[in-house]
Amino acid sequence: MFRGSIPALVTPFRGEAFDEAAFRDHVEWQIGEGSHGLVPCGTTGEAATLSVEEHYRVVAVAVDQAAGRVPVIAGIGSNDTRSAIANIRAVADLGARAALAVVPYYNRPNQDGIYAHFAAIAEASPLPIVVYNVPGRTVADINVETLARVASLPSVVAIKDATGNLARVSAQRLACKAGFAQLSGNDDMALGFNAMGGVGCISVTANVAPRLCADFQNACLSGDWEAALSLQDKLYPLHAALFSDASPGPTKYALSRLRDYPLDLRLPMTPPSEASRRAVDAALEHAGMNA
């Protein structure tokens, strides 16, 4: 379940409403192009702007549309431990196969607080848990020693590591239990991440180039590093362009170029700048994905 190319799904809006039809089409396209799993309601899915009811509806639609063909790993993160527990129980009832739980943000807990947060979620959880470490957004960083403690909890099975620190892959592999899966949270570093022991990526770029990202991850998993390097070179400008302005604006723009996909975002997110759009256009051309 925790390997390969796993898109962190964008959430389509038309005006202020969740566009369920567009989301179902996006999920279907992802599966048809070879994605290995799906993550609704993560950072890229603008989860912070969804109401609780919308959050659960997005997860329910992803589960329904996937229909068991690939696992759905639902975002449940909160800086309030009680809310995270309520979320994980709700998405389990909706049919998610696992949960993505971010390190608590804004509160800035110490390492004991981070451990206690995940221990409480794990004790209450009916699902496997993927820890999401993204200190650039949360400020708090789960260190290697604390991750090893958290990984010893039976239901904690993987990490999405968006620290941007490739040395963490080796340190965490040595510190954590055997079989603990490490997934990159940075598309541009996924080649090095996998070479050091990672097994996949929870990906932004896979929203736009699902087939290329799946082929890249399959090449890594099979040890075909020459093919993986070639695909990395093809995808790298797109990895960069999708973060040339606040995410997921550039990603929604790219999808609007390629498919019938709405560009709408929810405030405080706004459409990407003209410079960002030009970067996305050039990257799509470089990847052979001319609209």
**187: DSSP letter:** G
Tens of pLDDT, residue by residue over 63-77, are 999 999 999 999 999
Query: What pLDDT sits at residue 1?
Result: 76
pLDDT at 7 (0 to 100): 98
| Residues above pLDDT 90, as percent of the chain | 99
Q: Which residues of the chain have pLDDT under 70?
A: 291
Domains of the chain: 4-220 (3.20.20.70)
Q: Which residues form the catalytic set?
A: 132, 160
Q: Looking at the DSSP assignment, which residues form a beta bridge with residue 100?
A: 75, 130
- Spatial separation of the C-alpha atoms in residues 194 and 183, rounded to whole Å: 8
CA dihedral 63→189→172→167, nearest 10 degrees, is -170
Q: What pLDDT is stored for residue 290 in this prediction?
A: 76
